Amino acid sequence: MRAFVALYPDEEARSRIADVAPDDDGAWRVSDMADWHVTLRFLGELDASGLDLVARALVPALASMDPFTVRLGPITALGTSARVLFVPADGAQDAARAVDLAVGDLAEPRDRPFRGHLTIARARGRGRLPGGWTGQPIHADFSASEAALVVSRLEPARAVHRVVARFAFGEGIRQGEQVFV
């Protein structure tokens, strides 16, 4: 299973992002609002045992962190040769560093320095996104009180995400109604 560790913005922040998000079109696909997240670390392919090892490694690292504010914006940007529309995210650097230290070699190494962002849309096929989408003003803050361990399944229309564990900053790991510390 493809896996990653992420922060999910609250409803108010998602609403502000939706104000600048384009509509779906044959040339591009807008990410599902419920899936909008800031990836702290992509983990690659992990089996159930690997997910369990990562979750156990993350517990002490994230339980020791206090909640923090993530700032989205101030503008939208195009990346990866104008194939991705995203909103920069600032404030999650310490959490990304904590995840890196905790995960170590339990997953794929980080292939580039952490640059917090939230992906809004992607070009389909070999297309490019319209240049006018970059620079749209956006400002939204959200309180990051937990991180999520997420598995992703690629389908023809989109990636389907499923949260398998939540790590409350300062509290431990939540799975269903139980909290493990």
Decide: 116 and 92 in contact? Cβ < 8 Å.
Answer: yes
% of residues, the chain, pLDDT over 90: 65
pLDDT of the residue at 174:
57
Reported as a single tens digit per residue, the pLDDT across 7-44 is: 999 999 999 999 999 888 888 888 889 999 999 999 99
Q: What is the pLDDT of residues 107-119, one digit of tens each?
A: 988 889 999 999 9
Note the residue count of the chain: 181
Mean pLDDT, range 86-100, rounded to an integer: 97
CATH class for the domain made up of 2-180 = alpha beta
Mean pLDDT along residues 131-136:
88
Choose among 166, 50, 169: nearest CA to 177.
166
Q: What's the whole-number average pLDDT of the chain?
A: 89
What does the pLDDT read at residue 178? 38
Domain limits, the chain: 2-180
Does position 122 have pLDDT exceeding 50, yes or no?
yes
- The strand pairing partners of 142, in sequence order, are 70
Give pTM, 2 decimals.
0.90
Question: DSSP class of residue 35?
Answer: G
